[in-house]
Amino acid sequence: MAVDLVAQPGTRANVPADVTARLLRQLLGEPTVAVPTLVFVAGHVAGVVLLGITLWRGGILPGWAGLVVSISQPLHLVFATMAPSPLLDGCAWLLTAAGLAFATARPAPLTPA
Protein backbone atom coordinates (compact mmCIF):
# COMPACT_ATOMS: atom_id res chain seq x y z
CA MET A 1 0.00 0.00 0.00
CA ALA A 2 2.91 2.32 0.66
CA VAL A 3 3.76 2.27 -3.03
CA ASP A 4 0.28 3.50 -3.92
CA LEU A 5 0.55 6.26 -1.33
CA VAL A 6 3.64 7.61 -3.09
CA ALA A 7 3.04 6.85 -6.77
CA GLN A 8 -0.46 8.25 -7.11
CA PRO A 9 0.10 11.55 -5.25
CA GLY A 10 3.44 11.95 -7.06
CA THR A 11 1.67 11.67 -10.38
CA ARG A 12 -1.11 14.04 -9.35
CA ALA A 13 1.44 16.60 -8.12
CA ASN A 14 3.32 16.40 -11.44
CA VAL A 15 6.49 15.14 -9.74
CA PRO A 16 8.86 13.93 -12.47
CA ALA A 17 8.61 10.17 -12.99
CA ASP A 18 12.31 9.58 -12.30
CA VAL A 19 12.06 11.37 -8.94
CA THR A 20 8.99 9.35 -7.98
CA ALA A 21 10.74 6.14 -9.07
CA ARG A 22 13.80 6.96 -6.93
CA LEU A 23 11.58 7.69 -3.96
CA LEU A 24 9.71 4.41 -4.45
CA ARG A 25 12.97 2.41 -4.67
CA GLN A 26 14.16 4.05 -1.46
CA LEU A 27 10.84 3.38 0.25
CA LEU A 28 10.82 -0.29 -0.76
CA GLY A 29 14.33 -0.66 0.62
CA GLU A 30 13.25 0.42 4.09
CA PRO A 31 12.96 -2.58 6.44
CA THR A 32 9.65 -1.34 7.84
CA VAL A 33 8.19 -1.62 4.33
CA ALA A 34 10.28 -4.44 2.85
CA VAL A 35 9.72 -7.00 5.62
CA PRO A 36 5.91 -6.74 5.78
CA THR A 37 5.80 -6.74 1.97
CA LEU A 38 7.88 -9.92 1.86
CA VAL A 39 5.67 -11.57 4.48
CA PHE A 40 2.53 -10.57 2.55
CA VAL A 41 3.87 -11.85 -0.78
CA ALA A 42 5.05 -15.14 0.71
CA GLY A 43 1.70 -15.66 2.45
CA HIS A 44 -0.24 -14.70 -0.65
CA VAL A 45 1.63 -17.11 -2.92
CA ALA A 46 1.67 -19.97 -0.39
CA GLY A 47 -2.00 -19.39 0.41
CA VAL A 48 -3.13 -19.72 -3.20
CA VAL A 49 -0.98 -22.85 -3.64
CA LEU A 50 -2.61 -24.37 -0.57
CA LEU A 51 -6.05 -23.23 -1.73
CA GLY A 52 -5.59 -25.04 -5.05
CA ILE A 53 -4.50 -28.22 -3.27
CA THR A 54 -7.39 -27.96 -0.81
CA LEU A 55 -9.96 -27.42 -3.56
CA TRP A 56 -8.64 -30.51 -5.34
CA ARG A 57 -8.33 -32.71 -2.23
CA GLY A 58 -11.76 -31.57 -1.02
CA GLY A 59 -13.39 -32.67 -4.25
CA ILE A 60 -14.37 -29.17 -5.35
CA LEU A 61 -11.97 -29.20 -8.31
CA PRO A 62 -10.56 -31.98 -10.43
CA GLY A 63 -6.79 -32.43 -10.17
CA TRP A 64 -5.98 -30.42 -13.29
CA ALA A 65 -7.99 -27.43 -12.09
CA GLY A 66 -6.45 -27.58 -8.62
CA LEU A 67 -3.04 -27.59 -10.30
CA VAL A 68 -4.03 -24.54 -12.38
CA VAL A 69 -4.93 -22.61 -9.23
CA SER A 70 -1.83 -23.84 -7.39
CA ILE A 71 0.67 -22.82 -10.06
CA SER A 72 -0.97 -19.50 -10.93
CA GLN A 73 0.50 -17.36 -8.17
CA PRO A 74 4.04 -18.78 -8.27
CA LEU A 75 3.92 -17.93 -11.99
CA HIS A 76 2.65 -14.45 -11.10
CA LEU A 77 5.58 -14.01 -8.72
CA VAL A 78 8.05 -15.02 -11.44
CA PHE A 79 6.54 -12.87 -14.18
CA ALA A 80 5.93 -9.84 -11.95
CA THR A 81 9.38 -9.75 -10.34
CA MET A 82 12.06 -12.19 -11.51
CA ALA A 83 11.41 -12.24 -15.26
CA PRO A 84 9.03 -9.31 -15.77
CA SER A 85 6.48 -9.88 -18.50
CA PRO A 86 3.13 -8.09 -18.25
CA LEU A 87 1.58 -10.48 -20.78
CA LEU A 88 2.68 -13.64 -18.96
CA ASP A 89 1.82 -12.09 -15.61
CA GLY A 90 -1.67 -11.38 -16.92
CA CYS A 91 -1.91 -15.00 -18.07
CA ALA A 92 -0.92 -16.16 -14.59
CA TRP A 93 -3.70 -14.06 -13.08
CA LEU A 94 -6.07 -15.45 -15.71
CA LEU A 95 -5.22 -18.96 -14.47
CA THR A 96 -6.17 -17.88 -10.94
CA ALA A 97 -9.44 -16.36 -12.12
CA ALA A 98 -10.33 -19.31 -14.36
CA GLY A 99 -9.59 -21.89 -11.69
CA LEU A 100 -11.58 -20.07 -9.02
CA ALA A 101 -14.45 -19.39 -11.43
CA PHE A 102 -14.53 -23.09 -12.24
CA ALA A 103 -14.61 -23.86 -8.51
CA THR A 104 -17.58 -21.57 -7.93
CA ALA A 105 -19.49 -22.96 -10.90
CA ARG A 106 -19.30 -26.56 -9.62
CA PRO A 107 -21.82 -27.81 -7.09
CA ALA A 108 -20.33 -28.51 -3.68
CA PRO A 109 -19.74 -32.20 -2.99
CA LEU A 110 -22.04 -33.88 -0.54
CA THR A 111 -20.41 -34.66 2.76
CA PRO A 112 -21.61 -37.34 5.15
CA ALA A 113 -23.48 -36.01 8.17
pLDDT tens profile 55-113: 999 888 899 999 999 999 999 999 999 999 999 999 999 999 999 999 888 776 656 65
Outline where the chain has alpha helix (H).
2-12, 17-29, 31-57, 63-77, 86-105
**Radius of gyration for the alpha carbons in the chain, expressed in angstroms and rounded:** 18
pLDDT score for 19:
92
